Structure 1
Amino acid sequence: MTLSAPPLLRLEQVSKRFGPTLALNKVDFDLHAGEVHALMGENGAGKSTLMKILAGNQPRDAGRILMDDREIEIRSPRDAGAYGIAIIHQELNTVPDMTIAENLALGHEPVTRFGTLDRRALDRQAREKLARIGADIDPQRRLGSLSIGMQQMVEIARAVSENARVLVLDEPTAALSRAEAQQLYRLIGQMRASGVGLIYISHRMEEVWQLADRVTVFRDGGHIGTARMQDITPPDVVRMMVGRPMGDLYDHPPRTAGDIVLEVEGLAGNGVGPVSFHVRAGEVVAMSGLIGSGRTEIGRLIFGSDPRDAGIVRIDGKTSTPSDCVDAIADGIGMVPENRKEQGLFLGHSVEDNVAISSLDRYVTAGVLHRGAIHAAVAEEMARLRLRANAIDLPVKSLSGGNQQKAVLARWLLRDSRLLILDEPTRGVDIGAKREIYEMIDALARAGKAILMISSDLPEAIGVSDRLLVMRGGRIVRELASAAASEEDVMFHATGTAGDRTARGHGGTQ
């Protein structure tokens, strides 16, 4: 990649307005062949709007788009594909109930001379496409049976097979295991070497610095700056993103734990367990481990989302045996699920409805629902979480990812739950919103709440918690004091290689 050559793609003075909101304000962006160009900014900064314009899903109001120094028009996804522009969205654009081969051929299915689907050709082409990215998968498998990481690889295989010249990756590692992320990094290296230009959207500083050649920062719909990675530091980027220095993201004074709120004994079900542990009032306990280790399953068993095979769960000494989530909520348990859009939100309903849904029983008198009291209570919780007041009547799907996560959290603040289970609380959330969520977690703990945080982000799991439970194979294999733990400690126990490390003479928390 050389910056002296004309850019492969250039956007000049692009603007987009949605009613009174100026989503993009005369922004510039360029991409060279064989370059990884990171695009960063808080949720709502304009990144997604720009990508929708590139994908042909939104028309721009002003500005120019050029490829190879020639102005082009992108009026539809078909136009984008014709110019070699492909986008791998954070929410995958696939059909889970179809086979891998069928997904790879969508819109370009091979047919026989009789006009019927040529299944032999379909299978052969699918194997060739998967081989190009080094994915050894049976193309006749149902796509939905694969992990999210492998489904993402299938989408990339489709883009590569269509000879994409520009590939946009939107938070591509948000749901990947470390092994899957490393496989993606190798694939990015191959595409870069072949001359593909990649736009990489991510909130993860460490991977941006590992992969990118340049970084561009947007804020409030405007272009703040572009720099080569060797000329800028992570604190510089954070300052550009939020308009102020952030300090230590995970910094919090020591917390004092109180009485046991959650007590788990021999809990098993959904293919995991038995596990036993406790969480005290005023304490944040993180649960970490590789994808498939059983972290999310434990949270769902406690919350009543899945049936238990064995074990006892107590809240403040009282046995909790929920037959469903409604019973768990009545027992004082709240849960922010791993996938907020599919499991935590009613996307077409207002923010007020989403926040109030679990507390409606508290605002009913003689069968009458007190809407005014609900509105006031929801507005108060929104203010605590710095959600703008005029969003209360908007459909929750119109909010940024960070604000959607805050809406789910506000639901349990309104309910005043004793135990909060937070599963991947900052997945897909920008750094400014992350800081606000961490501050709220700390404030809730200091107010006496017990918090069980499930996280695959090791710096987050260690930095936010007081204790850390490492899971492997559906069991808790180690408890670590977070203040003394390192990412290496967690990974050695999560992978079962702690003994090998000790034998080689490495230090660490044991």
Structure 2
Amino acid sequence: MAEPILEMRGITKRFPGVLALDDVTLTVQRGAIHAICGENGAGKSTLMKVLSGVYPHGSYDGEIVFEGKPIEFSNIRQSESAGVVIIHQELALIPELSIAENIFLGNETSTRGVISWDEANHRAIELMARVGLRENPLTPVKHLGIGKQQLVEIAKALSKEVKLLILDEPTAALNDDDSTHLLDLLKGLQGKGITSIMISHKLNEIERVSDAITIIRDGRTIETLDVSAGDVDEDRIIRGMVGRDLEHRFPDHAPSIGEVLLEVRDWTVMHPQDHSRVVIKDVDLAVRHGEIVGIAGLMGAGRTELARSIFGRSYGSRTQGTMRLDGKELHLKSVTDAIKAGIAYVSEDRKGLGLNLLDDIKTSISAAALDKLRRGLTVDEREEVVVAERYRTSFNIKAPTITAGVRKLSGGNQQKVVLSKWMYTDPQLLILDEPTRGIDVGAKFEIYGIIQSLAREGKGVLVISSELPELLGLCDRIYTLAEGVITHEFSREDATQESLMRYMTADAR
């Protein structure tokens, strides 16, 4: 067998009060695509930050051998010089700069201290062609979709003569087409001798492209699976990740559905900038007490726009139609009005819209309902602590204390904080937009349980998800949306992935 390109031996990393990595070992063969799997908080990203110098040598115990030589990276610049390049889940691009400027940022081509932009743009075109980008290199990155931004990051890595490419959740925010293109690109780079390490929660993608899979649980290496040897499927990976079989991906659910809670009729929403453009057209939908209702649609179908327009008209320049909650017609003009009326909305972008990453857990949980803690002109801080501790316990938020910063939490625990924040507002209707995006199977199971407990309390839940199995396993009823129009309504018994997709792709106009 050829000498591995990477060996990480006995890696141990501690933070105050937390043992993040405990004697982790990892061996990656040259030219392989090696996946790393584990639940949120298992230590996957921490391990890659140790490898890439984000956590410098001396801040951890253990040894790293790269291309047969021990390495001691003190920073990212050193690791990149050696050919180890990491692409984080939060892309490190500057929106206002061009594609070319982002590709060579910090790695500029210069002569006597003067950047040669002609040469940079020419090289950028070559690198962009390698990843399948055909845009003008002068195009500002802010005008690209998230899928193409990922490709810019890979082109940026290729400009640094990458030998080992690390991708942290590269397809978490991508649609199916963009995900397929990116995975095909990884296989293409593999054919040119580039080794890749991929962290992902999408087990079907891991099965498709990986040569080996290392599973990490609670900061320890559990096992490494050889995909070519066979007998590696999603159930096998899950068993290693969570330490048990998940015979059922969803908790048992016996719905107790009551009278209509939310009723939306003839709901039409215009684009916020182009006031003549219809985004949502004549939508009728209803959610009953104790019911979990899904909305299935392709990217761009108007799912989020519909949800936000219901949530205090936070999307759209003009909205027409009627909305009733428990039979009472609502005329909501703001998010504050929606919260007061008993509506909550968990955004698909938990880091951009759901949380202030500078806050701690305690402050985040109370943020949407401070009036409940107000005592005159001040906030009852003792009660705030009691509330935060209650949700930390009941939602199993894994953090040492409620004063821990939300920025340092795993994706699943961040999502639980967001859910806690909105549950503290005591809503009657909870709208969940991609509630398990970027979350591992174990945390998903916990969040499904929280959703079902809300339904048992008689609340209504409206779920938007790109994962059809999630909607089929969780929801009592599902609407399909295409081009801003409701195209069909399915009962739980009648819905299948094929039938949902048929109406998600219907010509709605």
Which TM-score band (shorter chain)?
over 0.9
1:116 Cα offset (Å): 4.3
TM-score with structure 2 setting the length: 0.93
Q: Please tell me whether residue 7 in structure 1 is matched to residue 15 in structure 2.
A: no
Q: Distance in 2 between matches of 1:76 and 1:228?
A: 32
How far is the alpha carbon of 1:205 from its aligned partner?
A: 1.4
| Secondary structure, aligned partner of 2:470 | helix
The alpha carbon displacement at 1:149 in A equals 1.0
The range that moved more, 470-479 or 401-410, is 470-479
- Which residue of structure 2 aligns with residue 287 of structure 1? 295
Q: Secondary structure at 2:466's aligned position in 1? A: coil
Match of 1:152 in 2: 150
Supply the AA of the counterpart residue of 2:310: I
Taking the TM superposition and a 5 Å limit, the aligned residue runs for 1:77-88 are 77-88=76-87
Which amino acid in the other structure matches residue 46 of structure 2? Answer: T
How far 1:225 moved relative to its partner? 0.8
2:403 paired with 1:393? yes
Q: Among residues 46, 51, 54, which one is paired with 1:54 in the alignment? A: 51
Give the 3 Å change call, closer, same or farther, for CA 253–178 of structure 1 in structure 2. Answer: same
Aligned twin of 2:204: 206
Matches of 1:272 and 1:242, distance apart in 2: 41
Q: How far, CA to CA, are the matches of 1:455 and 1:210 in structure 2?
A: 22
CA–CA distance in 2 between the matches of 1:393 and 1:444?
26
**More divergent stretch after superposition (40-49 vs 307-316):** 307-316
Match of 2:28 in 1: 31
Which residue of 136, 161, 183 maps to 1:163? 161
User: How far did 1:476 drift?
Assistant: 2.0
Q: Secondary structure of 1:106's match?
A: coil
**1:368 Cα deviation (Å)?**
4.3
Separation in 1, partners of 2:472, 2:242: 24
Does 277-286 or 477-486 show the bigger shift? 477-486
Equivalent residues of 1:43, 1:429 under 8 A apart: yes
Alpha-carbon distance between aligned partners in 2 of 1:224 and 1:117, rounded to the nearest angstrom: 48
- Measure, in 2, the Cα distance between the counterparts of 1:257 and 1:133: 50
Match of 1:273 in 2: 280
Kindly state the Cα deviation for residue 261 of structure 1 after the two structures are TM-superposed: 1.5
Q: Secondary structure at the match of 2:418?
A: helix
8 Å CA contact retained: 2:362, 2:388:
yes
CA distance in 1, matches of 2:11, 2:372: 49
Matched letter for residue 107 of structure 2: H
| Cα shift at 1:451 | 0.8
**What is the Cα deviation at residue 112 of structure 1?**
6.3
Aligned to 2:299, the other structure's residue is in SS state coil
What letter matches 2:67 in structure 1? D
- Structure 1 residue 374, shift from structure 2 partner: 2.7
The C-alpha deviation readout for 1:358-384, integer Å capped at 9, x for no partner, is: 222123344443222232233222222
Look up the equivalent residue of 2:98 and give its one-letter code. Answer: T
1:184-223 deviation per Cα after TM superposition (whole angstroms, max 9, x unaligned)? 1210110111121111111111111111111111111111
Which residue is equivalent to 2:274?
none
Partner Cα distance (1:333, 1:178) in 2: 31
Could you list the per-position Cα deviations for residues 244-303 of structure 1 after superposition, in whole angstroms to 9, with x for gaps in the alignment? 222211243341321221212222133511222111111111112221111111111111
State the SS of the aligned residue for 2:473: helix
State the AA in 2 paired with 1:273. I
Contact 2:251 2:445 in 1 (8 A): no
Secondary structure at 1:439 match in 2: helix
TM-score normalised over the length of structure 1: 0.92
Q: Distance in 2 between matches of 1:455 and 1:168?
A: 27
What SS is found at the alignment partner of 1:182?
A: helix
Tell me if the contact between 1:100 and 1:143 (Cα under 8 Å) persists in the aligned partners: yes
Q: Is the 8 A contact 1:38 1:202 kept in 2?
A: yes
Aligned to 2:425: 415
Q: Is the counterpart of residue 334 in structure 1 residue 335 in structure 2? A: no
Q: Which moved more, 1:376-385 or 1:22-31?
A: 376-385
Aligned residue pairs, count: 494
How large is the RMSD of aligned CA atoms in angstroms? 1.9
2:54 match: secondary structure: coil
In structure 2, the gaps of 5 or more residues are: 272-277
Report what 2:100 is aligned to.
101
2:309 corresponds to 1:301: yes
CA distance, structure 1, for counterparts of residue 481 and residue 120 of structure 2: 41
Equivalent in the alignment of 1:76: 75
Query: Which amino acid in structure 2 is aligned with residue 243 of structure 1?
Result: G
* 3-state SS of paired residue (1:249): coil
Matched with 2:275 is none
Write the distance in 1 (CA, Å) between the matches of 2:482 and 2:410: 33
Structure 2 counterpart of 1:426: 436
How far apart are 1:388 and its partner, in Å? 4.9
Contact 1:266 1:273 in 2 (8 A): no
- Cα distance change on mapping 1:483 and 1:159 into 2, 3 Å: farther
Q: Secondary structure at the match of 1:66?
A: strand
Following superposition, the deviation at residue 20 of structure 1 comes to: 3.2
Q: Is it true that 1:238 corresponds to 2:235 in the alignment?
A: no
Distance across 1 between alignment mates of 2:435 and 2:25: 33
* Contact 1:251/1:463 (<8 A) preserved: no
C-alpha spacing 1:121/1:482, structure 2 compared with 1 (3 Å) = farther
CA displacement 1:470-510 (0-9 Å, x = unmatched):
22222222222233322222223223389xxxxxxxxxxxx
Secondary structure of the residue aligned to 1:248 is coil
SS at match of 1:394: coil
Local SS of the residue matching 1:312: strand
Cα offset, 1:340, TM superposition: 0.7
Q: State the partner residue of 2:497.
A: 487
2:100 and 2:487 map into 1 onto residues whose CA distance is: 39
| Contact 1:283–1:450 (8 Å) recurs in 2 | yes
Amino acid at match of 1:15: T
Q: What residue number does 2:253 align with?
A: 253
Alignment of 1:449-468 (within 5 A): 449-468=459-478
Q: Any conservation in 2 of the 1:269–1:301 contact (CA below 8 Å)?
A: no
Residue number in structure 1 paired with 2:220: 222
